Amino acid sequence: MMLKINLPQIYGFFLIIMMFSCHGETRVDVSHIDVDIQIERFDRALDSLRPENVLEKNREWLHRYGYFYADYMQYMLEAGNPLDSARLRPILTQVIETEDFRALKASVYETFPDLASQEAGLTDAFKHFKYYFPEITIPRFIAFFSGFAVQTPVGEDYLGIGLDMFLGADSKFYPALRESIPFYLSRRFTPDNIVPRAVETYVREVLHPQNNLDVTLLQHMVYQGKVLYVMDRVMPDVADTLKIGYTAQQWEWAQRYERDIWAWFLQENLLYEADYNRVQKYLSEAPFTPELGERNESAPKLGVFIGWKMVRAYMERHPETTLPELLAISEAQAILDGSRYRGK
């Protein structure tokens, strides 16, 4: 399997506001399921790296971290192939001696003295995954930092957690990255986002990758809705705002104008639109949706929001449908028809 780097899919962080809390779903008992997620701290392992032991550590980490270490060196840190130790040694030596590396390492350690809450959240989520999908294989979870390269990469047997992409909205590092990472993204780089983003990545990249033949807005909406609905089920205590990445104000706006958003999609004949540029503005990260609302207060990703509502409506009308059966429905039109969704 090739490395799949999930570029920031970073979403909002309002976790405890009850009026924006998770959609009511049937609770399931997962206490009997034997899952205990431990996040491996490769970021801590890096602390032992010295110019004089680069070759020794390179051999040790190739053996211990396997696919992750090879991907980390080549594609995340971009230091080179760890099998080419002669080339790797001077590059790594230069990296670890820079002031930027030391400052970032110190910030990561200060923000994350431990990952106990994230391990508890992932353990609960993957107990739910095992409840609904008993045959899944749970990946290794490995924490690292790479200079703001990636957030939650997926490899052959692991799911990575780039801790430098979760340092908090007020981190001193993010303002310097505004050209590549605008504020509407970096404000979501918070510790509370680690579990939802790791879970979302697992759903998108491992459990249920999107069909490449999905081209219409409706197909994309239904796929996005399925992803978020699985997140509903495996993270029943996580706020809706955190799952989709809205601020409280954006969530309130989308809820208030839900019927109008749906009417807009119908009026503009958007559901079966397949033009990439026209479709993506209703699916991609953005500060707002330009065509809707006044004074740029509208929520972004309105196709994702409506798709989520559509899938929820379908499952409410068809409670006998299991999660695997939902994901197996290949026709987006069947979800729309079966949901009887009309804007609420």
Question: What is the DSSP secondary structure assignment for residue 126, as one 8-state letter?
Answer: H
**Of residues 123, 116, 106, 54, the one with CA closest to residue 85:** 54
CB atoms under 10 Å from CB of 94, counted, come to 12
Are the beta carbons of 326 and 240 closer than 8 angstroms?
Answer: no
Q: Which two three-digit tokens encode residue 130? A: 């095992």
pLDDT band at 290 (very low <50, low <70, confident <90, very high): confident
What's the pTM?
A: 0.91
115-161 confidence digits (pLDDT tens): 999 999 999 999 999 999 999 999 999 999 999 989 999 999 999 99
In the block, tokens 């990472």 appear at: 181
Phi, psi torsion values for 50, nearest 5 degrees: -135, 155
Q: Which two three-digit tokens encode residue 159? A: 């799911």
Q: What is the pLDDT of residue 206?
A: 98
**Of residues 14, 6, 7, the one with CA closest to residue 188:** 14
> How many Å apart are CA 132 and CA 324, to the nearest integer?
8
Q: Which two three-digit tokens encode residue 242? A: 């955190």
Are the beta carbons of 30 and 235 closer than 8 angstroms?
Answer: no
Cβ-count burial 40-75 (b if 16+ within 10 Å, e if not)? bbbbebbeebeeeebeebbeebeeebeebbbbbbbb
Q: Listing from the earlier edge strand, what are the strands of the sheet with 158-162?
A: 39-41, 140-144, 158-162
Cβ-count burial 170-200 (b if 16+ within 10 Å, e if not)? ebebbeeeeeebeebbbbbbbbbbbbbbbbb
Q: What is the pLDDT of residue 295?
A: 78
189-221 confidence digits (pLDDT tens): 999 999 999 999 999 999 999 999 999 999 999
How buried is residue 279: exposed, middle or buried, by Cβ count under 10 Å (0-12/13-18/19+)?
buried
> How many Å apart are CA 136 and CA 177, to the nearest integer?
37
340 pLDDT more than 90: yes
Across the chain, mean pLDDT equals 91
Q: What is the pLDDT of residue 293?
A: 80
> How many Å apart are CA 73 and CA 202, to the nearest integer?
22
Interhelix angle for 54-71 vs 85-96, to 10°? 90
pLDDT band at 25 (very low <50, low <70, confident <90, very high): low
pLDDT band at 31 (very low <50, low <70, confident <90, very high): very high
Q: What is the pLDDT of residue 27?
A: 86
> How many Å apart are CA 147 and CA 151, to the nearest integer?
10
How buried is residue 158: exposed, middle or buried, by Cβ count under 10 Å (0-12/13-18/19+)?
buried
